[in-house]
Structure 1
Amino acid sequence: MSRMAPSTPSRLAAYTDAVFAVIITIMVLELRPPAEPTWAGFLDLWPTVVSYVVSYAFVAIIWMNHHYLMTYITTPSLKLLWLNFGHLFCVSFLPFATAWLAESELAQVPVIFYAVLFVATDGMYNLFEAEILKHAAEFSAESYRAARRRSLFAFLLFVVAVGLAIVDNWLGFGFICLALALHLRPDATPLRRRKRRRNDADS
């Protein structure tokens, strides 16, 4: 009997892409047209629109960060595979949280749950990122520390968002959007890798 081929980054990325695609599809299927064919009817759907846009941006940011991290993996370890499954487990609750947020018109408890979900998801991402970058030989120690500081700061903002949501749901939701903005530029990109190689060549 032939031995099973080792896991590859492409297989890990393909599975993750499929999960993200399903999550986005579920969120889209939750969208409903306005009851009245008027602008007023459309504006009544603002909680749905806001919830969907923020959640879609979250999925897009997660995917982009995940995409760039894949460039630093040769063969995924068992620990890394479980961290990825844990990360996807948290992300899989996003359609439920988004629907609850929209139907409640951003009420306090759904916003708190939404913020807690972001904390859990970003926490798992931080573990996933740290596991990859600490084993990436081409990723400099300085770049590693900078990426980790940025990721941990964004994670702290999500934690703060939970506390603020307990006091004021809109303030908490605003902090969630702020934390997402920090992730628009991925922590680990091929640019860092090329810069490191140029520095090594010059030295």
Structure 2
Amino acid sequence: MREEKTTADRLTAFSDSVFAVIATLMVLELKAPDNLAFSALWPLWPWAISYAVSYLLIAIIWINHHHLMRFVSSPTLGLIWINFIHLFMVSFLPFATAWVARTGLASSPVVLYAGLFVCIEIAYIVFENQVLAARASATQASGIIRRLASRRSLIVLAGFISAMLVALVAPRLGFGLICGALILHVRPDSYGGK
């Protein structure tokens, strides 16, 4: 049993490290203006908004990942691989964030940004289903928790897909829809208990 827990702890530690590197890469994209006046900061608003939103989104993703990892006692090979796929998708956030910022929230970058969140959410849904299925079989818990988690994740996925489509014609609204969809993931314990 202790070796299984060590494996789960190692998977969690590795994932935490990847999230930390991703957040660090995003901050490295921020460049201070050469001008000494506060007015020089105004043209940087796309960077500030993109960075703040992406950082918040990484925090929400990490919190949900951390919450789910508490239920993993013995990670299967499938769970390890879907964890890597999920982290791989999240690792594109610094690139997408920089493109959104450089273009002042233009349509194509926001479409890509929303599309990235579609991919992240699909990987998360698979990850979440595997973790909760193992937890349910281990504790004989009812399917209510899994249904609530699945329903919430599918609503979030629909929000990201909508944001991607809306961003084609109204990129700032699409960007806002991305933020709105992720609000549903702010409280991971609303389906999983303590």
TM-score scaled by length of structure 1: 0.88
TM-score by length of 2: 0.92
Displacement, 1:140?
3.0
Q: What letter corresponds to residue 164 of structure 1 in structure 2?
A: V
Which amino acid counterpart does residue 144 of structure 1 have in structure 2? R
Would you say how many aligned residue pairs link Structure 1 and Structure 2? 188
Higher gyration radius (CA): 1
| CA 1:187–1:150: 2 relative to 1, 3 Å | farther
1:32 maps to 31
Q: Which piece of structure 1 moves more, 181-190 or 39-48? A: 181-190
1:146 pairs with 148, 166, 180, which one? 148
Question: Matched residues, percent identical?
Answer: 49
Q: Which amino acid aligns with 2:149?
A: A
1:126 and 2:125 matched: yes
Q: Deviations over 1:39-98 (max 9, x none)?
A: 211121100000001110111011100111011111100100110010011011111111
Aligned to 2:176: 174
Residues 156-184 of structure 1: per-residue CA shift (max 9 Å, x gap)? 10011111111211121111010121111
Q: Which moved more, 1:180-189 or 1:7-16?
A: 180-189
The answer to whether the 8 Å contact 2:149/2:191 transfers is no
CA distance in 2, matches of 1:34, 1:101: 19
Q: Which moved more, 1:131-140 or 1:104-113?
A: 131-140
Which 4+ residue blocks in structure 1 deviate beyond 4 angstroms? 187-190
Instruction: Output the CA distance in 2 between the equivalents of 1:38 and 1:149.
Output: 49
SS at match of 1:34: coil
Instruction: Flag the 1:128–1:40 CA change in 2: closer, same or farther, 3 A.
Output: same
Equivalent residues of 1:55, 1:94 under 8 A apart: yes
Query: Residue 95 of structure 1: SS of its match in structure 2?
Result: helix
Return the structure number with greater helix share: 2
Cα pair distance change 1:113/1:93, threshold 3 Å: same
Question: Are 1:48 and 2:47 matched, yes or no?
Answer: yes
Residue segments in structure 2 that go unaligned for 5+ positions in a row: none
Is there any run of 5+ residues in structure 1 with no aligned partner, and where? 194-203
